[in-house]
């Protein structure tokens, strides 16, 4: 009955029986660099259910941003390329679409917002021009007047005061928080089903962050089945907004679970270490727990478990053999040799029933 | 109670606004508007606030680099640093007379890479302040560089390497080693961990705490991440639009904030606990106003949930609250 409980607790929760909105299977994105191939994302699989807010957390170099750019096929080629895998959306494999077909998916079906909106907005055009251009690009039959009204409406939805007047302003005339609102308005202007938000609040102050997160969640709730993939390094933001979390390290998924599972009973030594290294008011002012060492450079990742060089519970086997993803009885997925006795191995391609919702 | 090391009294800093075809000064932005606080020996004071509140400007004023970096800056008030030879007023010091003071006050920056010269080995960079401020021989200096590198968790053999060979966390360790080189009493840390990954951030925070104990350091810790500031600080000062709105013991300010702005700021901090009670959250409306068009009276009144008509009349002074801290709001 855990699933029902979760659905009740998280009104944004997805019903477990529905088909996933997006299915990523064995996705691998490699970059050709000096001296070899950097495996930024190396075989990840997950589902996004309709209406779900899915968090992907990881530190720099974990592959979380490359994974999200791969979904929209925005990986610069060269040096990068998607080496293998499948990204199923609406019955089609996005990796097999033509350039033109992919263009109509971006914005209309799947939209993305980035950490620094200033780099995504064109500094020499007004906000209004950019919004209207986006709308007319996707809806060529729309008149200028219609597009203008729709753009103002979108700016009002993201709570920009004096929206009609601000249409004439350039991006530099907006503050950081307001620019991120404009980005959200632009991302949502064609009603996408899936919004990928890559560190949307990292550059913002906490008060603005709270406003932006609230805004993203309310706007999504207005649309039936609208989903968000939230990519962040901030575990606290994930705890507040997501239903399920994927923890990545070294280009691989290390742990998957509901936020309650991940935050109250994390099982991967990396997840445990990450949570313990956060300062918290409850834990007092003692020394912080730390994960020893640094995030390894992507070309220097160990051959066995990607985390074995920094793991406190490392055993000999970790250096030679990379653990498979295992499923615990409560549905949590963990890539660690130490849980093997109590868990079932999940084949490289995980079945969607186990990844989309915690098993009953 | 320990003796005061640094006293800031009624500090006001105005940045010039240049305009017109002759680029003359047309206006002044009051970035810091009457800030006073005392930093005692061996303590850590955390300075928090949103971007643009003036916290970094206060830090730069203490190390006296504003005149060099912002032409036409207007500084007023007193910054008194207590050396073993008696108090020195820093704000009016000439460049030449400020230099010996810099051996006592050092700074750690947010982005260690931009504060490191990419063409210098890290050894020669850590050695530079020793050459400037001490009369040590070359041999003594190199020994000290090696000792410092090991003290911050790196290896002495890495002295001949260049900054690009190090990760973010290691670069911050190098920045800390350089700041420590001349045995300073006060270290000003401006967002020292905000560019680091979570797992590395904890390492650097622990290192800063260890060094404080070992060398009896005093920290002025400027950061926007409140959970980090609460963890490292003994006291916290909250700034809003150039004003100090609250100051007090770290636990009091973080757990029982008195000023309505501190309350909103602290309640907006997300908690890494999905079960946490979030009903008490105050989500502020609107944005921080431009310092060029600062509201009259209390600077926070345009966004304040408990605003009254009187708030427009005068800037409320800091007053003692029942919970022990000082807050600049008579109605909280």
pLDDT in tens, B275-285: 887 777 877 87
Question: Which string of DSSP letters, residue by residue, matches A100-164?
Answer: HHHHHHBTTTEEEE-S-HHHHS-TTS-HHHHHHHHHHHH-TT--HHHHHHHHHHHHHHTT-TTHH
Residue B230 pLDDT class (50, 70, 90 cuts): very high
Task: Give contacts of A274 with chain B, Cβ < 8 Å.
Answer: 198-199
Is the pLDDT at A18 greater than 80? The verdict is: no
Which residue from A minimizes the CA distance to B233? Answer: A285
Token pair 């920045």 is found at B175
Cis geometry, peptide bond prior to residue A199 (ω within 30 degrees of 0): no
Residues A76/A55, Cβ–Cβ less than 8 Å: no
Residue-level pLDDT at A1: 32
Q: Determine how β-strand A344-345 pairs with β-strand B44-48.
A: unpaired
Q: Which residues on adjacent β-strands are paired with residue B7?
A: B38, B80
Q: Are B272 and A278 within 8 A, CB to CB? A: yes
Count how many pairs of residues, chain A against chain B, have C-beta atoms within 8 Å.
Answer: 117
Which residue from B minimizes the CA distance to A201? Answer: B270
Q: How far apart are CA A197 and CA A219, in angstroms?
A: 13
Going by the DSSP 8-state scheme, the letter that residue B223 receives in this structure is: -
Q: Is B263 helix (H, G, I), strand (E, B) or coil?
A: helix
Query: Which of B201, B264, B272 comes nearest A263 by C-beta?
Result: B272
Q: Which residue has the higher pLDDT, A225 or B227?
A: B227
pLDDT of A39-62, one tens digit each?
999 999 999 999 899 999 998 888
Query: Which of A207, A281, A310 comes nearest B50 by C-beta?
Result: A207
First to last CA, chain A: 6
Q: Are B274 and A260 within 8 A, CB to CB? A: yes
Residue-level pLDDT at A261: 94
Going by the DSSP 8-state scheme, the letter that residue B119 receives in this structure is: T
Q: How far apart are CA B73 and CA A82, in angstroms?
A: 53
Task: Give contacts of B227 with chain A, Cβ < 8 Å.
Answer: 236, 278-281
Task: Give contacts of B223 with chain A, Cβ < 8 Å.
Answer: none
B39's tokens:
């930093």
> Is A210 in CB contact (< 8 Å) with chain B?
yes
Q: Name the minimum distance, in Å, from the CA of A5 to any CA of chain B.
A: 14
Query: Which of B167, B202, B275 comes nearest A290 by C-beta?
Result: B202
Q: Are A175 and B287 within 8 A, CB to CB? A: yes
Contacts 24+ apart (CB under 8 A), B247-252: B247/B37, B247/B318, B247/B325, B247/B326, B248/B321, B248/B323, B248/B324, B248/B325, B248/B326, B248/B327, B249/B324, B249/B325, B250/B46, B252/B323, B252/B324, B252/B325
Token pair 């990379």 is found at A322
Q: Is B92 helix (H, G, I), strand (E, B) or coil?
A: coil
Residue-level pLDDT at A360: 36
Residue B2 pLDDT class (50, 70, 90 cuts): confident
Which residue from A minimizes the CA distance to B263? Answer: A207
Q: For B90-191, where are the E strands, in sequence order?
A: 105-108, 186-190
Token pair 């968090």 is found at A55
A337's tokens:
């040799």
pLDDT of B287-303, one tens digit each?
788 888 889 999 999 99
Q: Determine how β-strand A92-93 pairs with β-strand A252-258.
A: unpaired
Q: Is A47 helix (H, G, I), strand (E, B) or coil?
A: strand
Residue-level pLDDT at B185: 94
Average model confidence (pLDDT) across chain A:
84
Among candidates B123, B141, B211, which has minimal Cα distance to B182?
Answer: B141
Query: For chain B, what percent of residues have pLDDT higher than 90?
Result: 63
Residue-level pLDDT at A28: 94
C-alpha distances in angstroms, A164 versus A168, A267, B76?
A: 8, 51, 42
- Give the strand order in the sheet containing A92-93: A36-48, A22-33, A80-89, A92-93
3-class SS shares of chain B: helix, strand, coil, % to 5: 35, 25, 40
Is the pLDDT at A10 greater than 70? The verdict is: no
Query: For chain A, what percent of residues have pLDDT higher than 90?
Result: 42
Q: Is A221 helix (H, G, I), strand (E, B) or coil?
A: helix
Query: For chain A, what percent of residues have pLDDT higher than 70?
Result: 90
Query: Which of B199, B228, B232 comes nearest A274 by C-beta?
Result: B199
Which residue from A minimizes the CA distance to B171? Answer: A294
Query: Which of B167, B269, B287 comes nearest A294 by C-beta?
Result: B167
Residue-level pLDDT at B265: 92
Task: Give contacts of B281 with chain A, Cβ < 8 Å.
Answer: 210
Average pLDDT over residues B98-109: 91
Residues A32/A83, Cβ–Cβ less than 8 Å: no
Q: Name the minimum distance, in Å, from the CA of B98 to any CA of chain A.
A: 34
Residue B70 pLDDT class (50, 70, 90 cuts): confident
Going by the DSSP 8-state scheme, the letter that residue B102 receives in this structure is: G
Which of A6-10, A314-318, B296-300 has the lowest average pLDDT?
A: A6-10
Is the pLDDT at A15 greater than 60? The verdict is: no
Is the pLDDT at B247 greater than 80? The verdict is: yes
Q: Where are the alpha helices (DSSP H) in B167-317?
A: 168-180, 198-215, 226-232, 250-255, 260-267
Residues of B at the A interface (Cβ-Cβ below 8 Å)?
Answer: 50-51, 167-170, 197-203, 205-206, 209, 224, 226-228, 230-232, 254-255, 264-265, 268-276, 278, 281, 283-284, 286-287
Is the pLDDT at A131 greater than 50? The verdict is: yes
pTM for the whole structure: 0.85
Q: Are A291 and B199 within 8 A, CB to CB? A: yes
Average pLDDT over residues B262-266: 92
3-class SS shares of chain A: helix, strand, coil, % to 5: 35, 20, 40
Q: Are A260 and B278 within 8 A, CB to CB? A: no
Question: Which string of DSSP letters, residue by residue, matches A260-304?
Answer: HHHHHS--SHHHHHHHHTS--TTTTTSPPP---S-PPPGGG--SS
Residue-level pLDDT at A221: 67
Q: Are B197 and A295 within 8 A, CB to CB? A: yes
Token pair 């009973």 is found at A265
Among candidates B296, B299, B302, which has minimal Cα distance to B329?
Answer: B299
pLDDT of B117-176, one tens digit each?
889 999 999 999 999 888 899 999 999 999 999 999 999 999 999 988 888 888 999 999
Residue-level pLDDT at B210: 94
Is the pLDDT at A108 greater than 70? The verdict is: yes
Q: Are A206 and B205 within 8 A, CB to CB? A: no
Q: Are B205 and A175 within 8 A, CB to CB? A: no
ipTM, interface predicted TM-score of the complex: 0.81
Which residue from B minimizes the CA distance to A273? Answer: B199
Residues A257/A245, Cβ–Cβ less than 8 Å: yes
Residues B235/A285, Cβ–Cβ less than 8 Å: no
Q: For B50-175, where are the E strands, in sequence order?
A: 74-83, 86-89, 105-108
Residue A21 pLDDT class (50, 70, 90 cuts): very high
Question: Which string of DSSP letters, residue by residue, matches B24-46?
Answer: EEEEEEEEEEEEEEEEETT-EEE
Question: Which string of DSSP letters, residue by residue, matches A307-353?
Answer: TTTT-TT--HHHHH-PPPPEE-TTS-EE--GGGGGGSEE--SS--HH
Q: Name the minimum distance, in Å, from the CA of B93 to any CA of chain A.
A: 35
Average pLDDT over residues B210-238: 94
Residues A247/A256, Cβ–Cβ less than 8 Å: yes
Mutate to test the interface with A, among B51, B166, B272 (most CBs of A within 10 A): B272
Q: Name the minimum distance, in Å, from the CA of B188 to any CA of chain A.
A: 21
> Is A233 in CB contact (< 8 Å) with chain B?
yes
Contacts of A145 (CB under 8 A, 6+ apart): none
Residue-level pLDDT at A176: 79
Which residue from B minimizes the CA distance to A205? Answer: B50
pLDDT of A154-166, one tens digit each?
888 888 888 888 9
Q: How far apart are CA B306 and CA B262, in angstroms?
A: 13
Query: Which of B50, B230, B286 comes nearest A279 by C-beta?
Result: B230
A49 C-beta neighbours (distance < 10 Å), count: 25
Residue-level pLDDT at B27: 84
Q: Are A209 and B206 within 8 A, CB to CB? A: no
Is the pLDDT at B58 greater than 90? The verdict is: yes
> Is A2 in CB contact (< 8 Å) with chain B?
no
Residues B80/B11, Cβ–Cβ less than 8 Å: no
A124's tokens:
């020499």
pLDDT of A215-243, one tens digit each?
888 877 666 678 999 999 889 999 989 99
Residues A69/A40, Cβ–Cβ less than 8 Å: no
Interface of A with B in 166-195 (CB under 8 A): 175-178
Is the pLDDT at B113 greater than 80? The verdict is: no
Q: How far apart are CA A25 and CA A84, in angstroms?
A: 9
Average pLDDT over residues A301-312: 91
Q: To the nearest 10°, the Cα dihedral for B132, B136, B137, B139?
A: -100
Mutate to test the interface with B, among A294, A300, A306 (most CBs of B within 10 A): A294
Q: Are A290 and B281 within 8 A, CB to CB? A: no
Which of A118-127, A289-298, A342-351 has the lowest average pLDDT?
A: A342-351
Q: Are B271 and A274 within 8 A, CB to CB? A: no
């Amino acid at each position: 009955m855990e699933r029902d409980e979760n659905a009740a607790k998280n009104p944004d929760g997805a019903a477990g029986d529905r088909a996933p909105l997006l299915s990523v299977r064995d996705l691998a994105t490699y970059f050709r660099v000096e001296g070899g191939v950097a495996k930024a994302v190396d075989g990840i699989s997950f589902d996004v259910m309709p209406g779900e807010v899915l968090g992907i957390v990881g530190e720099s170099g974990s592959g979380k941003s490359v994974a999200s750019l791969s979904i929209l096929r925005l990986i610069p080629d060269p040096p990068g390329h998607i080496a293998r895998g499948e990204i199923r959306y609406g019955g089609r494999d996005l990796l097999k679409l033509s350039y033109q077909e992919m263009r109509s998916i971006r914005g209309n079906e799947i939209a993305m917002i980035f950490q620094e909106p200033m780099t995504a907005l064109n500094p020499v055009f007004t906000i209004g021009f950019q919004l209207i251009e986006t709308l007319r690009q996707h809806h060529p039959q729309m008149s200028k007047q219609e597009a203008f009204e729709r753009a103002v409406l979108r700016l009002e939805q993201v709570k920009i005061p004096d929206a009609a007047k601000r249409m004439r302003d350039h991006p530099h005339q907006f503050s950081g928080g307001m620019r991120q609102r404009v980005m959200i308005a632009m991302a949502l202007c064609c009603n996408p089903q899936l919004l990928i938000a890559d560190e949307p609040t990292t550059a913002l102050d906490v008060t603005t962050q709270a406003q932006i997160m609230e805004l993203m969640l309310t706007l999504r709730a207005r649309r039936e089945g609208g989903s968000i993939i939230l990519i962040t390094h901030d575990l606290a933001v994930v705890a507040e907004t997501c239903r399920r979390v994927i923890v990545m390290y070294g280009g691989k998924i290390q742990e998957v679970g509901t936020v309650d599972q991940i935050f109250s009973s994390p099982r991967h030594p990396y997840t445990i270490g990450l949570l313990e290294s956060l300062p918290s008011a409850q834990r007092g002012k003692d020394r912080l727990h730390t994960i020893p060492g640094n995030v390894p450079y992507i070309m220097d990742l160990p051959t066995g478990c990607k985390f074995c060089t920094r793991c406190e519970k490392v055993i000999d086997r970790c250096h030679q053999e990379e653990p498979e993803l295992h499923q615990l009885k409560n549905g949590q997925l963990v890539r660690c040799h130490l849980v093997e006795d109590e868990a079932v191995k999940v084949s490289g391609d995980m079945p969607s029933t186990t990844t989309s919702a915690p098993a009953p | 109670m320990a003796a005061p090391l640094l006293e800031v009294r009624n500090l006001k800093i105005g940045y010039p606004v240049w305009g017109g075809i002759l680029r003359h000064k047309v206006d002044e932005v009051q970035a810091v508007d009457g800030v006073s606080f005392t930093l005692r020996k061996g303590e850590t004071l955390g300075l928090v606030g949103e971007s643009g509140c003036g916290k970094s400007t206060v830090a730069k004023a203490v190390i006296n680099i504003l005149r060099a970096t912002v032409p036409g800056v207007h500084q007023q008030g007193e910054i008194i640093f207590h050396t073993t030879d008696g108090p020195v007023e820093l704000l009016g010091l000439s460049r030449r007379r400020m230099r010996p003071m810099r051996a006592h006050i050092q700074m750690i920056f947010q982005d260690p890479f931009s504060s490191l010269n990419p063409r210098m080995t890290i050894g020669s960079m850590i050695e530079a302040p020793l050459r400037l401020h001490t009369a040590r021989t070359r041999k003594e200096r190199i020994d000290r560089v090696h000792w410092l590198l090991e003290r911050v968790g790196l290896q002495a053999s890495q002295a001949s390497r260049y900054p690009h060979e190090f990760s973010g966390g290691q670069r911050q360790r190098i920045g800390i080693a350089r700041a420590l080189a001349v045995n300073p009493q006060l270290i000003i840390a401006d967002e020292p961990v905000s560019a680091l990954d979570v797992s590395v951030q904890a390492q650097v925070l622990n290192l800063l705490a260890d060094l404080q104990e070992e060398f009896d350091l005093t920290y002025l810790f400027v950061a926007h991440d409140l959970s980090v500031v609460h963890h490292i600080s003994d006291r916290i000062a909250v700034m809003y639009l150039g004003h100090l709105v609250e100051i007090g013991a770290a636990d009091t300010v973080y757990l029982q904030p008195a000023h309505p702005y501190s309350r909103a700021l602290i309640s907006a901090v997300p908690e890494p606990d999905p079960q946490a009670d979030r009903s008490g959250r105050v989500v502020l409306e609107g944005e921080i106003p431009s310092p060029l068009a600062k509201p009259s009276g209390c600077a926070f009144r345009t966004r304040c949930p408990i605003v009254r008509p009187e708030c427009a009349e005068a800037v409320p002074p800091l007053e003692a609250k029942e919970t022990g801290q000082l807050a600049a709001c008579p109605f909280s």
